[in-house]
Structure 1
Amino acid sequence: MCYHTALIAQPRQLALRFGREWDRIRDFRPTYHVSAFTHAEYPIVTADEQFQSFRWGLIPFWTDSIEDALAIRNRTINARAETIFEKPSFREPIRRKRCLVPASGFFDWRHEGERKVPYYITVHDLPIIAFAGIFDCWHNKELDEYVGTYSIITTRANEMMRFIHNTNFRMPVILRPEDEQRWLAPELTENEIMVLLKPYPSAKMEAGIIRQDFLKKAYSDPTIIEPVTAVKQ
């Protein structure tokens, strides 16, 4: 699964990386830890020339009330590639509303008995990666406002991630740079979409054990992603 990420970049850097205007994300600051469960605004790349500022946890357009929206968004943080065309919340977005979710890396835990060992995971020589995402826009009728939300797609784990995520053997879909703009193309067929939803090669990734208390630190604290040489028993 993928519930925790980092995006250590300024708006201008993101604009250069993805070729988008950055007016809507001017207030974004480098973030060493992003928790999906805060549902904070986050820079997202769509086919639009502007970056979008959406919230993590997809709320389908057909959601009726605020209560329903709050209930569903923690269940749609991730979308499984294997069933994405079947699930009511995802089957329209995967066909028509695909996006890139920028990140510097992501966090996961290895289970060793009753102990959980946290890792920070990145891609070699790629300071900003792009997860395959889907989005939707929900109309909050009570406040008469539109809310953009997104989900990160997960797939089966590669060899390295099978070692780390050793419970469900999952990982987020990291798109190869040459596939990023293709992912946004509206004319893709179901088969063409599925071809892109594959594990990123282990050989191009790296991971380091980090401190157990990283969840308690301020999102702007760079020590969050510092590797440690040993973990206390």
Structure 2
Amino acid sequence: MCYHVSNESDPEELKAEFKLPMDKVEQFKKRYDFNGFEKPFLPVISKENPRIIDMYRWRLVPHWIKEEKDFKANTLNARNDELFEKSSYRQYWENRCLIICTGFFEPHYPDLNGKEHESWYIKPKHKKYFMLGGIYNEWNGMKTFSIVTTDASPLMAEVHNDGKRQPLVLKGNAALAWLVPNLTQDEMKSLMVYQYPDEELEAYRVIDGIYNAKQDTNLPEAIKPYERPPFDVLSMYGV
């Protein structure tokens, strides 16, 4: 699953990096932690208009939904193995986009039999941004998207060790191919097995609470390596 991403950069940095103009800049926000369940707007490049960076809202809403409050499905992510069959997605596989972020978060379970988990952050080692493969739909005049998820790479399977899933991270020709207008389903399936090289990823534990909706994690510490709080051993003995 991929329910939290970061983008702590400015619009000018995005435009300079991708050499593209940006639409709807007023919807842009920079945050250390975007919670998908809050349905934020994020910068995307879409098949529909790959010559601009646009702002789409996270959580795909199918066209047949009248009131979003009545739509109970979790469509923050679209599994690659459900994309062409599941009713929430099957009409939108041709609507592909790239979601721009500086990193994403995943839970890690030190004990797979336990409930306690750590928050881990994954970012590109040599670049500023990730491009995540997604699909979108226009609903009530607003573009809404889901992030496509795939089987985890060896590194990501160690991080997200309960579900062994990860977002579809694309780069170079794979990212360009995702925006080709007339891809077939078989060609799209081939793209969805692409794995961003593990040696180009940086993954580390960050502050706890990323997945706690009651905790404010829009903090610089959210994307910095975890530092264990100081522990006074002598205090255990009343010294």
TM score, norm. by length of structure 2:
0.85
SS at match of 1:93: coil
Rg larger for? 2
Per the TM alignment, residue 81 of structure 1 is displaced from its structure 2 partner at its CA by 0.6
Per the TM alignment, residue 36 of structure 1 is displaced from its structure 2 partner at its CA by 0.3
Q: CA deviation digits over 1:152-189, x for unaligned, max 9?
A: 00000111111111111100000022222221111111
Q: How does 1:49-198 map to 2 (within 5 A)?
A: 49-69=51-71, 71-72=72-73, 75-95=74-94, 97-111=95-109, 112=111, 113-139=114-140, 146-198=141-193
Do the aligned partners of residues 93 and 229 (structure 1) sit closer, same or farther apart at CA in structure 2, a change above 3 Å counting?
Answer: same
Determine whether 1:225 maps to 2:223.
yes
Separation (CA, whole Å) in 1 of partners of 2:91 and 2:230: 47
Determine whether 1:20 maps to 2:15.
no
Determine whether 1:6 maps to 2:6.
yes
Separation (CA, whole Å) in 1 of partners of 2:116 and 2:130: 29
Q: CA deviation digits over 1:23-66, x for unaligned, max 9?
A: 31245232110000000222121131332222111001121234
Do the aligned partners of residues 66 and 213 (structure 1) sit closer, same or farther apart at CA in structure 2, a change above 3 Å counting?
Answer: closer
On the 8 A contact 2:40/2:57 being kept in 1, the answer is yes
Do the aligned partners of residues 20 and 52 (structure 1) sit closer, same or farther apart at CA in structure 2, a change above 3 Å counting?
Answer: same
On the 8 A contact 1:25/1:43 being kept in 2, the answer is no
Structure 1 portions without partners, runs of 5+ = 140-145
On the 8 A contact 1:11/1:26 being kept in 2, the answer is no
Separation (CA, whole Å) in 2 of partners of 1:54 and 1:202: 28
Separation (CA, whole Å) in 2 of partners of 1:232 and 1:181: 47
TM score, norm. by length of structure 1:
0.87
SS at match of 1:83: coil
Separation (CA, whole Å) in 2 of partners of 1:5 and 1:195: 25
Separation (CA, whole Å) in 1 of partners of 2:220 and 2:9: 12
SS at match of 1:191: helix
On the 8 A contact 2:27/2:41 being kept in 1, the answer is no
**How many residues in Structure 1 have an aligned counterpart in Structure 2?**
222
Separation (CA, whole Å) in 2 of partners of 1:138 and 1:228: 40
Counterpart code for 1:106: F
Could you say what the CA RMSD is over the residues aligned between the two structures, in angstroms?
2.0
Structure 2 portions without partners, runs of 5+ = 232-239
The alignment-based identity, stated in percent, is 29
